[in-house]
Amino acid sequence: MKLLEYQGKKLFEENGIPVPGGRVISGADEAFEAASSLGTEVALKVQVPVGGRGKAGGIKLAAADKAKDEAEKLLAMEIKGFPVDKLLVEEKIEAAQELYLGVVVDTDSGNVILLFSPTGGVDIEQVAAESPDQVFRLTVDPFAIPPRYRLRYFIRQGGFRGKILEKLTGIAQNLLQLAFNRDLLIAEINPLMILADGRVLAGDAKVEVDDNALFRQQFEGKFWEEQDELEKEAREIGVTYVKLDGNIGVIASGAGLAMTTMDLLEEAGYSPANFLETGGGITEDLLYHSFKLVCKNKGVHSVIINLYGGVNPIEKGAKGVVRAMGEMTDPPVVVAKALGNKQEECWEVFKSGGVAVVTEVGTEAAVKELLALLDENKPA
């Protein structure tokens, strides 16, 4: 679950991480009042759950008396498919130095990593590629946040001393505590701004909460925004779904299977329409709803299913897919690779519903079969 910037900053402020003064607005008429209460000049920032909004023109500086005009333009925008319905109006901040500070979960090792760089304001990946010696990493024990002296030593690598060092150390400590308390997968401040007067403020907030922990977090009210109806439906079904720009639907019983399938499609010159991961609990209803969900994307003309079943018998998932296809007047081309518990029964169910079945272990075979079927079904 990705939070919008203003929501992330609310968490920061509640947990001892200073942020610029700001107000959230949803109408241009509110912009002048908000701007006037913050200063003579403000920054207006669109609130969408994707990166690159600055490059897309979604951040503007304006004098208070021009804030309404700029707000009208920004609220009429759409960025990467997301309509803008909220703006964060913030006091204009002049940073003497921009840093990067983040807590992330390393997906390869599963470790929690504290990242710090004296070079902020740009993608941390770019900094790591161009100046790897300027990105400092600290592996953190999730059961014991490092003591303050250890964090002070870590931050000191960036060349900081005195009061600034103490402030940065405190923010790092608070960010780690927040990440663990709120089950965050990502908590990034970029830029973390040092002002000429010695203040240190979080200029931006990129925060993502582990979906599997939402049941215990109990955010007050509707703390996050559902920007996509299909992703909202996926959350209700209990699957992880991300809508993409292609036309081949992907359903897999694990994130690794899904990513492998998507990568192979891309290598073959085709684009996936989505990422959908069901998790290990394969049931008839789950696959039924997952298939219907994928096909609600009007651009989908075919679907590739990649299942591996351990404890759960996977033929039940096949029944769900066939049931969903039976309710469609014009079902898409479907290829399924399914291995594991009751795989032979699963294959028969799929075949009975007109699904092409691949029994090889490699996902490459499933992708090859799908592309062959698409070639056969090309209009003359």
Structure tokens of 374? 């698409």
The residue with tokens 């592309």 is 371
What three-state secondary structure class fits 205?
coil
Per-residue three-class SS string for 3-72: ECHHHHHHHHHHCCCCCCCEEEECCCHHHHHHHHHHCCEEEEEECCCCCCCCCCCCEEEEEHHHHHHHHH
Give CA–CA dist 11/184, Å, rounded: 11
Residues 6+ apart with CB under 8 A from 220: none
Catalytic residue, from 188, 277, 315, 369: name it: 188
- Residues 273, 246 contacting (CB under 8 angstroms): yes
Q: How far is CA 301 from the centre of its chain?
A: 25
- The residue type at 130: E
Closest CA relative to residue 280, chosen from 238, 320, 244: 238
Catalytic residue, from 5, 6, 90, 100: name it: 100
Active site annotation includes 100: yes
Give CA–CA dist 158/167, Å, rounded: 14
Q: Output Rg (C-alpha) for the chain, integer angstroms.
A: 24
Handedness of CA 247, 248, 250, 256 (dihedral sign): negative
- Write the Ramachandran bin of 133: left for phi over 0, alpha for psi from -120 to 50, otherwise beta: alpha
| Cα angle value 138/177/217 (rounded, 5°) | 125
Catalytically active residues, by annotation: 100, 188
